[in-house]
Chains A and B, each alone.
Chain A
Amino acid sequence: MNPAALPARRYRLLPGSRNAATRPSSAGSADHATSLSGRRVVITGGTDGIGLHLARIMTCQGADLLIVGRQREDAVRANLMHRQHYVRADLSRPDSPALVSQAIDALGWQKIDILIHNAAAGWVGPVEEQSAASVDELISTNLLSPIILSQLLTPQLRMAGGKILFIGSVSADQPCPSFAVYSATKAALSGFARSLRSELKGEIDVQVIHPGPTRTAFHTKSGFRSPRLARFFMPPDVVANAIFRRIERKHATSTVSHGAWLTELFRRVRVRI
């Protein structure tokens, strides 16, 4: 049976998800199948959740990928697709950006088209119960490593006229008492991106995409346990599709969430603090 005849999966809750990556290629845009061919992409946290799906979509679109993750290389090797490379680096450690940079040199990549800062650590609970080590881990993983890695890879990105993509969070603009440090790091990341975008105008594009709550291992790792609430979380493949679709656009920030346009409207219109 011709796969193109099958109806595309549609999620009503995410109008942006009916995209080129999930749509059968005969739907009018055949060139989409290789829209990233020859492009080089670096993605952090690409072994799980949104990052895993995003990496798969981009590989299917023809990109060469370098995936950065914490897992051991032999554990990941079996899941790697064609044209996917892997480097093990724990982004909570200060030497990790250098490891990634070395891996890129080893691959011989002179140019990088897209750098995706997707890896993140979380912690749920009142801030006074959070240990100093955990605060440190969150700040290093979510904020310091992306800053340092962006700086290290600036020459390669500049060469390609590339793009830096930060995966933020909808929590960055909301008061989140139980996610205080996490949302602070995400707000910091989006403030960083905003200034950097203005600084690198005309050379490197900087974009921030804020996904809403997604059904990944992130929440369990952070200590969030609420199966009833988790039922309403979006599936990671849908979120990854929506993010991929937004990468091709030029918007400085966008939101991927339930009622995304409403969230984005509130985010833009509201006079922040």
Chain B
Amino acid sequence: MRVVITGAARGLGAALTSRFLSARHSVIAVDCDWQNCKPGAQHEAHIRLQADLSDPSEIAGLVSSVRETGSVDVVIHNAGINATGPFDQIAVSAMCRVIEVNLRAPILMTSALLKQQLIAENGTLVFIGSLSSHLSYPGAAAYAASKDGLLSFARSLTPSLAKRNIACLSVLPGPLDTQHARRHAPQSADGTGRLDPAIAADKIYAALQRQRKTLVPGWRARIYSRIGTTAPWLAERIMRKAVFLPLCETHAETVREMPK
């Protein structure tokens, strides 16, 4: 299989890259920054591309480089960024970038790949969303927006692509044990219960083999997902207490520590 993975330098993207490479698939790894990435992510067997997904022209460039190597079987829209804090104190540019990278980039990329017929028959589009779609995510409303939008986009594509034998897989991971997730977690969070990205990558790989439509990796995430879908008010209360209020404290501390 030929696989395109965005945001492949770190975190879940790096784990997915290793997983696919160990199963002897060829991987086109995309990231905006290949410096300072873990040495484990730099395998020899794949093509590495650099593109800033917040820029539509770079996405077009990326698609044309993919075109040179032929059609692909799996596209994993994994690249994602976050911006956390009290809503009125997050910079506008940060929120715009969140929407551009998490929502606009997958839409533009999917649209361009489909237009140029670069996705092979029996191919799969994988959209990495977030458990926030079931739980809400106070303290990162723009992030929650982008991931909800992405999953809705996947849902809309599913029936029309099924006619062309292309499947869609929506993944809703909970908190992962990655650098990026830790950076945006409240300071008080001790990091227990975070899912190892390697395990998440394994589960995504297995779901792909079984042609599943949706996946919530990890039993903790599944419990929370069930709470969120059956008792949204409870999920919102938990998220406010467990995420938003600690985030506000962290934010207040960093503001206090900043030199005047």
Point out residues on A near B: beta carbons under 8 Å: 94, 126-130, 132, 135-136, 139, 143-144, 147-148, 150-151, 154-155, 172-173, 175-181, 183-192, 194-201, 271-273
Query: A273 to B133, Cβ gap below 8 A?
Result: yes
In the complex, B149 has a CB within 8 A of chain A: yes
Are B139 and A175 interface neighbours, CB within 8 A? no
Most chain A beta-carbon neighbours within 10 Å: one of B90, B92, B132, B213: B92
9 shortest A-B CB distances, which residue pairs? A191-B148, A188-B149, A187-B152, A192-B145, A177-B160, A180-B156, A128-B114, A199-B138, A184-B153
- In angstroms, Cα B95 to Cα A150, docked, is 12
Residue of B nearest to A172 (CB): B152
Report yes or no: B156 in contact with A179, Cβ–Cβ below 8 A.
Answer: yes
Residue among B56, B88, B240 making CB contact with A198, cutoff 8 Å: B240
- Across the interface, B157 reaches (CB within 8 A) one of A148, A180, A188, namely A180
11 interchain pairs (CB within 8 A)? A128-B112, A151-B92, A151-B95, A176-B156, A177-B160, A188-B149, A188-B152, A198-B136, A198-B138, A272-B133, A273-B172
Given A172-B152, A180-B153, are A191 and B145 neighbors across the interface (CB < 8 Å)? Answer: yes
Most buried by A among B147, B153, B170, B240: B153
Given contacts A144-B96, A194-B236, contact A188 B145 (CB under 8 A): yes
User: With contacts A195-B138, A201-B240 known, is A175 near B229, CB below 8 A?
Assistant: no
- List, in ascending order, chain B residues with CB within 8 A of A148's CB: 92, 95-96
- Smallest Cβ distance from B28 to chain A, in angstroms? 20
In this complex, what residue of B is CB-closest to A126?
B160
Residues of B within 8 A of A188 (CB): 99, 103, 145-146, 148-149, 152
B77 at the interface (CB under 8 A from A): no
CA distance A218 to B38 in the complex (A): 49
Chain A nearest CB, measured from B88 CB (Å): 4
Assuming the contacts A127-B110, A135-B107, A144-B99, asked whether A187 and B138 have C-beta atoms less than 8 A apart, the reply is no
Report whether A191 and B149 are in contact in the complex, using a CB–CB cutoff of 8 Å: yes
Q: Are A132 and B56 in contact (CB under 8 A)?
A: yes
Residues A189 and B145 in contact in the complex (CB < 8 Å), given A135-B104, A198-B138: yes
Known A-B contacts: A198-B239, A271-B229. Give 20 more (CB < 8 A): A94-B96, A128-B111, A144-B96, A147-B142, A148-B95, A151-B88, A151-B95, A181-B107, A184-B150, A189-B145, A192-B144, A194-B236, A196-B87, A196-B138, A199-B86, A199-B139, A200-B87, A273-B151, A273-B172, A273-B213
Assess whether A185 is in contact with B149, with CB atoms less than 8 Å apart: yes
A253 nearest in chain B by CB position: B232
Query: Could you say which residues of chain A place their CB within 8 Å of the CB of B153?
Result: 180-181, 183-184
When the two chains form their complex, are residues A199 and B141 in contact, meaning their CB atoms are under 8 A apart? yes
Interface string of B147-177 (1 = CB under 8 A from A): 1111111111111100000000010100000
- B107: chain A residues within 8 A (beta carbon): 127, 135, 139, 181, 184
Chain B window 18-38, contacts with chain A (Cβ cutoff 8 Å), 1 for yes, 0 for no: 000000000000000000000
In the complex, the answer to whether A195 meets B152 with C-beta atoms within 8 Å is no
How many angstroms between the C-alpha atoms of A238 and B242 in the bound complex? 42
Contact with A along B83-98 (1 / 0, CB 8 A): 0001110101001100
Q: Whose C-beta in chain A lies nearest to the C-beta of B235?
A: A198
Q: State whether A191 touches B144 (Cβ < 8 A).
A: yes
The residue in B99, B112, B240 that gathers the most chain A C-beta atoms within 10 A of its C-beta is B99
Q: A190 to B136, alpha carbons, bound, how many Å?
A: 10
CB atoms of A198 and B236 under 8 A apart: yes
Are A194 and B149 in contact (CB-based, < 8 A)? no
Docked complex Cα distance between A154 and B240 (Å): 19
Given contacts A139-B103, A181-B153, A273-B214, contact A175 B145 (CB under 8 A): no
A98 and chain B: residue at smallest CB distance: B92
Residue from the set A94, A148, A191, A194 with the largest chain B CB neighbour count within 10 Å: A191
